[in-house]
Structure 1
Amino acid sequence: MSEREHTGRILDGRFELLERLGSGGMGTVWRALDLGLHREVAIKEVRPADADQIDSDPVTAAQLRERVLRESRALARLQHPNVVSIYQIIESADSPYPWIVMELVRGTSLDARLADGVLSPSDAARIGRDVLAALRSAHSAGVMHRDVKPGNVLLRTDGSAVLTDFGIAALQGSTQLTATGDVIGSPEYIAPERLRGDETHTASDFWSLAMLLYVAVEGYHPMRRASTMATLAAVMTEPVPPPRRAGALAPALNAALRNDPAARPTGEVLDQMFAAAERDSPPPPLGPPTPAGFAVPGPPSGPQPQYPHWPTPTPMPVSGPQPHGYPQSYPTPLPKARKRTGAVVLSLVGVALVVATVVLVNHLRDVDNSAKSPTGTTTTVATQRDVGLPGGQPTTAADAGKTDLLTPAGAREAVAALGGVMGGTMVSELTLWPDHATAVAPTAAVANGFDDFEYQGGKATRKGADGVDADRPLIDLNQVNWDAIPALLDQANKELGVPQPTLRYLIVDSDIIDKTPSIKVYLIDAYGGVFLEANLKGEVQKTYPRGK
């Protein structure tokens, strides 16, 4: 049935379809008039993109219909100001799928709002609290969202945020995705554990929310790649680079974007962190572009749209506007890259600098010297020795007995201990800090599988599964010239333009393009990271100093 034939149609003798607001992989949303109560509502016509295939399989069609009804009934019981209210479910005689009558939110979507520019950290934190409240309410009713993204967050005219489209990814999971090639959910916002097949964690929704807020304040998506498959691979295997413009919101984002769902904060703690950011976040200086991000464009000419309580930000578009100011409330294809003036091209150097920044945050998070803050979150206290400063001195007798792993003897100590747990010296990656080391090594548990390992305090342990990758190259750590470490560190200190690094570390891995193994030595300070690259013999091949 065409849109014109739909318009003017009256459902269930009561709801007149007025206008199509948006459509996607699970159907179409209409603006409609409730003839009985004389109010406008939104009606979702649930019809999957592969409905023709499903219709030919009565069992699958019945299962999908039952899941839609179950999810809708669960949501209909939710009475929360930040959840789009469901009023009624209509079962039409001419369709095997139900129609869902819901609240029509007047305003715009967060997706359309971000097309006009980034949010301040305090505004993003306020929206984050609203969406988090909706998620916690849904989780308490046994409903996970599974598709938190800017297009599914609506902004009322008073500035409050409302979450819509619960359960879409779960509904799509019942369709024959292998036939259509669709992705379950929105690739850029799916938590890594969900991509590995684990749908059991409510913290998956928190990861998606944190990524949404990251995009809102930074102005770009850190895991977006040239294709959907590349994006999925990045989410699964790469750490999220720490935000640079998030101000007081950064601790909450870093905590919620941890790869391990068990390590993420609870909903209560995350709300406390958002609340602190909303109260205490000053406008951060933009500074230089985040590695792998886009250059910040200047303000456009002409008047800018105004929104309640939002100062006009420096424009940094991240997505396109939606029709009629209403969100396209269903999963959409990964947006194609836009042509931008002054855009920063993501090169291998950019990737390496992103890794450098991530390692800094992870290291400072994991050091032993930590203390509890008044809000219950962990505040890390790092000594000079912890971060590998030249001339750093241990502060306790226990520290005095520790081996610096960024020495030939220390590196061999870590490799020997890790080898005993890994069952050999073959790895895809090894990272050495002054006080601990991590490695990714093949496992016998599954074909082409890899596990994560850690060495700290004189003990090597297996941390868990890393993933499956048939193309991941391996390096024999026995082939690395550990005696070259002092000379590499000395050259890095002299040539990379970071006179007072707050962190030094070393990575042994392979090039992502030609698979060539290398040693990379990184220096980090408050302004970012630099590094040099050497072969396994310790012969320097390239340097990437600051300002060049």
Structure 2
Amino acid sequence: MTSGQQVIDGRFELRGRLGSGGMGAVWRAFDLALEREVALKEVRLAGTDTSELDPDVAQMLRERVMREARALARLHHPNVVTIHHIVDSPEMPHPWLVMELVRGQSLQERLAHGPLPPAEAAALGRGLLAALRAAHEAGICHRDVKPANVLLRTDGTPVLTDFGIAVLEETPRLTQTGGLVGSPEYIAPERLHGHEGDPASDLWSLGMLLYTAVEGRHPLRRPTTAATLAAVMTAPIPPAGHAGPLAPVLQALLAREPAARPAPEQLDHMLAQAADPGAVPASTPVPPPPPPPAFAAMPGPGTAPAPFPMRTTEPALKRSHRSGLSPVLIAAGAVGAVAVLLAALVVVLPKLSGGAGRTGGAGTPPGTAPTGAPTGVRTGSGANGGGTNGGGTSQVTTLLTPAAIRDVIKKFEEASGSKKFAQFTVYEDHASADAPVPRRRAAFDNYTYRKGADAAVRSGPSIAITTGDAKVDLGAFNWDVLPALMRRADRTLKVPKPTLRYIIVRASWTFNGGRPTMLVYLTDDYGGGYLAANTKGQVISTVPSDS
């Protein structure tokens, strides 16, 4: 029987296939009772006769249909497809979902004609974020955000569809043990580690979707599924050369640690700024941006494939010079279009003399520190802490020594009144730490210290926490092994002439089973690498610059 003749449930006349995927096909249909066009989703495994399936598998499919129906029925949002009806009976080989017919095309079809301008992609991202926020507030994680599951109305409004593999918080998981649910190239890395049900996973997928939309290519797609999954877990993401003002959003979303991704309100503000720089008045309080992503989610040319969750200003400015981004993204004091980046610069450090508003324009070599930035970044091993000035007075030349780090820890403890911290980052000439706020669960204040200062100072509420409410006593780490770790980093990270050295201590690191971890980084103008060690100083993983 042809599609124009087949009638489902005596009411819905099929009039043409709109698309298909692994979980079935979607048809344009006509509701004979209400005399309107609708979309019917035929839920079946592609290329499979449902009647021949194992009864348990067939039942699982039906359960998924009901789950999608329940999920969509709970959502009433202009950016979420509306479900009208479900057709299911023992006599039918498989169930059908009756949904609104979105007139237009899918985002995947649109991208076949070329990438989106950054502002258009940012507006699209806001619509999808609104859909995801509605879903997350209803206890639903989508788990398969990708261009094929985004429909575009004729006015360009995005509509998120295909909640068939969504996770409802109160519903037992239906996925078979070990099964992979979702499109490999859009799946969040934490899900590959077995962590399900986190709304932040949908934000990673949104970031990948927006990256693909502006670049016209997926950064982690490989020839095989296995290779793609491996890339999602470990590969550095190449720079988005066409993202323009959307670049900070991609950087924030594509942090491999879920907790490092921005909160929805903050993300919406960032997307609004990218969509229309003039839409957010300069007087509007701007949420500070999240820390740059773990594992170099969006490195520019010469940016290390390593996390930069530091809240300090100078390294971020240097990366801006090396990254090749448009000056509008880094001239933070110039126009309202970069208010988000400006917030990060003014919240975390005492004002730099003349440095925050400069750009790496003509005559400024890539990697050169802006005027007013400290020149304390050294290219030596970082293991030696002694030295003298012109007057012969002994002084600390680097904070990356056991004695200097212990002194810095003491200053942070004195300033914060806490013995435990969520995160601790040390460069050669400055450091920061996130200390818990008394009687406020999972709330932290950031403290900074500059080499030679008498004390650490509070710089404001923390925006860089990636450890939930985990905290660690920094004295639990064996700091005496740091020189050996730095030497090992020199030998193994394949950064022959590092221009930046630093360490990050995380109270909880996803890739060390949630245990406290020290990460040692080396970077240069072409990339970087890191090694991770436990509290005893034993190396647990090494990621060279060419990995």
Q: Shorter-chain-normalised TM-score: which range?
A: 0.5 to 0.7
Q: Which residue among 303, 306, 331 is the counterpart of 1:357?
A: 303
Q: Match for 2:35 among 27, 38, 43? A: 38
Instruction: Name the aligned partner's letter for residue 242 of structure 2.
Output: R
Q: Which residue of 2 aligns with 1:74?
A: 71
In the TM superposition, what is the alpha-carbon distance from 1:133 to its structure 2 partner?
A: 0.9
Q: Which residue of 1 is the match for residue 184 of structure 2?
A: 187
Are the aligned partners of 1:505 and 1:522 in contact in 2 as well (CA < 8 Å)?
A: no
Match of 2:537 in 1: none
1:198 counterpart residue number: 195
In angstroms, what is the RMSD of aligned CA positions? 5.2
Indicate if the aligned counterparts of 1:239 and 1:355 stay in contact, CA closer than 8 A: no
Q: Which residue of the other structure, out of 148, 151, 157, is the alignment partner of 2:148?
A: 151
Q: TM-score if structure 2 supplies the norm length?
A: 0.58
8 A Cα contact 2:400 2:427, kept in partner? no
CA distance in 1, matches of 2:404, 2:93: 61
Q: How does 1:484-523 map to 2 (within 5 A)?
A: 492=497, 522-523=523-524
Task: Identify if the C-alpha distance between structure 1 residues 228 and 389 changes in structure 2 by more than 3 Å, giving closer, same or farther.
Answer: same
2:116 is equivalent to residue 119 of structure 1? yes
**C-alpha contact 1:31 1:41 (8 A) present in aligned 2:** yes
> Residue 224 of structure 2: which of 207, 227, 238 is its match?
227
Match of 2:162 among 151, 162, 165: 165
Aligned to 1:128: 125
Q: Relative to 1, partners in 2 of residues 1:483 and 1:185: Cα closer, same or farther, differing over 3 Å?
A: closer
Whether contact under 8 Å (2:303, 2:524) holds in the other structure is no
Take 1:259 and 1:133, find their aligned partners in 2: how far apart are those partners? 22
Counterpart residue number, 2:250: 253
Is 2:245–2:274's contact at 8 Å kept on the other side of the alignment? yes
Q: Are the structure 2 counterparts of residues 144 and 363 from structure 1 closer, same or farther at C-alpha, using a change threshold of 3 Å?
A: closer
Instruction: State the distance in 1 between where 2:37 and 2:253 align.
Output: 37
Letter in 2 for 1:235: V
Alignment check: 8 A CA contact 1:415 1:477 kept: no
Structure 2: which amino acid aligns with 1:406? G
CA distance in 1, matches of 2:255, 2:68: 28
The residue type paired with residue 362 of structure 1 is F
CA distance in structure 2 between the aligned counterparts of 1:44 and 1:280, rounded to whole angstroms: 40
Query: Do the aligned partners of 2:214 and 2:242 also contact (CA within 8 Å) in 1?
Result: yes
Q: What amino acid does structure 1 have at the position aligned with 2:22?
A: G
The verdict on how the C-alpha distance between 1:158 and 1:111 changes in structure 2, with shifts beyond 3 A counting, is same
How far residue 162 of structure 1 moved from its aligned partner, in angstroms, is: 1.0
> Is contact 1:204-1:261 (8 Å) kept?
yes
Cα deviation, residue 82, structure 1: 1.0
Q: State the 1:265 CA deviation.
A: 1.4
Cα distance in 2 for partners of 1:183, 1:272 equals 33
Q: Tell me if the contact between 2:304 and 2:527 (Cα under 8 Å) persists in the aligned partners.
A: no
Matches within 5 A, 1:381-396: 394=374
Conservation of the 8 A alpha-carbon contact between 2:43 and 2:61: no
1:412, distance to aligned residue in structure 2 (A): 6.7
The two structures have a TM-score, normalised by structure 1, of: 0.58
**Farther-moved stretch of structure 1 (150-159 vs 58-67):** 58-67
Structure 1 CA distance for aligned equivalents of residues 490 and 372 of structure 2: 21
Deviation, structure 1 residue 44: 0.3
Secondary structure in 1 matching 2:276: helix
Rounded Cα–Cα distance in structure 2 between residues aligned with 1:483 and 1:358: 14
Alignment partner of 1:406 is 2:403: no
Q: Which amino acid aligns with 2:164?
A: G
**2:21 counterpart residue number:** 24
* Contact 1:50 1:175 survives alignment (8 Å): no
Cα pair distance change 1:412/1:99, threshold 3 Å = same
CA distance in 2, matches of 1:436, 1:355: 25
Report SS of the residue matched to 2:524: strand
Q: Is the 8 A contact 2:186 2:205 kept in 1?
A: yes
Q: CA deviation at 1:245?
A: 2.4
**How far 1:210 sits from its partner (Å)?**
1.2
Cα deviation for residue 276 of structure 1 reads 1.0
CA distance in 1, matches of 2:489, 2:233: 34
Deviations 1:509-535 (A, max 9, x none): xxxxxxxxxx997433xxxx3789xxx
Structure 2 gap ranges (5+): 280-296, 317-331, 333-337, 357-366, 386-398, 407-424, 433-466, 504-519, 530-544
Report the equivalent of 2:540: none
Q: Is the 8 A contact 2:237 2:298 kept in 1?
A: no
In 1, Cα distance between the equivalents of 2:227 and 2:149? 23
Equivalenced residues, count: 390
CA displacement, residues 199-252 of structure 1 (integer Å, 9 cap, x when unaligned): 121111111111110111122222222321111112122343453322222222
Secondary structure of 1:135's match? helix
Question: Structure 1 stretch 228-237 or stretch 407-416: which is displaced more?
Answer: 407-416
**C-alpha separation between the residues in 1 aligned to 2:59 and 2:258?**
33
In the alignment, what sits opposite 1:467?
Answer: none
- 1:379 maps onto 2:344 in alignment: yes
Q: Which residue of structure 2 aligns with residue 84 of structure 1?
A: 81
Shift of 1:194: 1.3
Quickly say closer, same or farther: Cα 1:218–1:407, change in 2 above 3 A: farther
Quick one: percent identity of the two aligned structures? 49
CA distance in 1 between counterparts of 2:27 and 2:270 reads: 37
Q: Give the direction of change, closer, same or farther, for the CA distance of 1:255–1:103 in structure 2 (3 Å limit).
A: same
Q: Which moved more, 1:99-108 or 1:260-269?
A: 260-269
Alignment-mate amino acid for residue 272 of structure 2: A
1:276-425 aligned within 5 A = 276-280=273-277, 356-359=302-305, 362=308, 379-380=344-345, 394=374, 406-407=382-383, 413=402
Contact 2:299 2:305 in 1 (8 A): no
Looking at structure 2, the residues matched to 237 and 84 of structure 1 have their Cα atoms a distance apart, in angstroms, of 34
Q: Which of 211, 217, 239 in structure 1 is aligned with 2:214?
A: 217
1:535 corresponds in structure 2 to none
Q: CA deviation at 1:77?
A: 3.4
Offset at residue 75 of structure 1 (A): 0.7
Change (3 A) 1:85 1:191: same
Question: The residue matched to 1:97 in structure 2 has which SS?
Answer: coil
Q: In 2, distance between residues paired with 1:356 and 1:460?
A: 34
Tell me if structure 1 keeps the 8 A contact 2:305–2:527: no
Letter in 2 for 1:86: I
Could you tell me how far apart the structure 1 residues matched to 2:36 and 2:193 are?
44
In 1, Cα distance between equivalents of 2:214 and 2:111: 9
